[in-house]
Amino acid sequence: MKTLAATIFLLVSSAVGLCAEEKKPERTMKFTLQWGGYYVSRGEDGKFSLIRILDFNVDAYHAAMFTEKFEKIPTLDQVKKLSPFVGHAPIDSKALLNRVDLTYLGSEKLKEDDLDGYSYYLEAHQVDEDEVKKLMTRIIGFSGNKPMILELSLKDGELQISEPK
């Protein structure tokens, strides 16, 4: 079952990752980073889509994805009741710069089962089981911290992360 789940996540994440490959003009944005944070952005259909960030680094953010669409920005209480359709998808961090209206709703501390899809993904990429457990423990700890305000920018095709001035 884990192998099937890992294969499905890899296929979905590969498809999602393709969206980030578009060449976009260089830009800068402020980003509220919270492990376990819920975020919405408006799609081309005018409705808001929901993701939950599980992990973040300069190369990728790892997110749970939801199928629900919203006519207006939902409340944190509304989204905390939902279950993700895809438990984990790695997405090129540069893709965040394509989400001009990304809105942070708030967060809820991650639990071990929130990270099952991410664990399967790492196992499928031959990450040692002890390393996976250590990473999951660190991520759960990070999700209990206050959000970080970061500045993301794209310079010469590379994502730059800094604290806002």
Bridge partner residues of 124 (DSSP) = none
Averaged over 5-30, what is the pLDDT? 52
Chain-centre distance of CA 138, in angstroms? Answer: 16
Tell me what pLDDT residue 25 has: 55
Averaged over 105-128, what is the pLDDT? 95
Tell me what pLDDT residue 101 has: 85
Whether the CB-CB separation of 36 and 143 falls below 8 Å is answered with: yes
In 3D space, the residue among 61, 59, 16 whose CA is nearest the CA of residue 159 turns out to be: 59
The pLDDT-based confidence of 98 (bands split at 50, 70, 90) is confident
In this predicted structure, the answer to whether residue 20 has a pLDDT above a threshold of 50 is no
In this predicted structure, the answer to whether residue 116 has a pLDDT above a threshold of 80 is yes
Whether the CB-CB separation of 20 and 91 falls below 8 Å is answered with: yes
Decide: residue 117, CB within 10 A, 0-12 exposed, 13-18 middle, 19+ buried.
buried
Q: What angle do CA 37, 74, 137 make, to 5 degrees?
A: 15
Distance CA 63, CA 106 (A): 15
In 3D space, the residue among 93, 107, 113, 119 whose CA is nearest the CA of residue 145 turns out to be: 107
Residue 37: domain span: 2-162
How many distinct structural domains can be found in the chain?
1
In this predicted structure, the answer to whether residue 91 has a pLDDT above a threshold of 60 is yes
The pTM for the full model equals 0.82
Averaged over 36-62, what is the pLDDT? 94
Whether the CB-CB separation of 28 and 149 falls below 8 Å is answered with: no
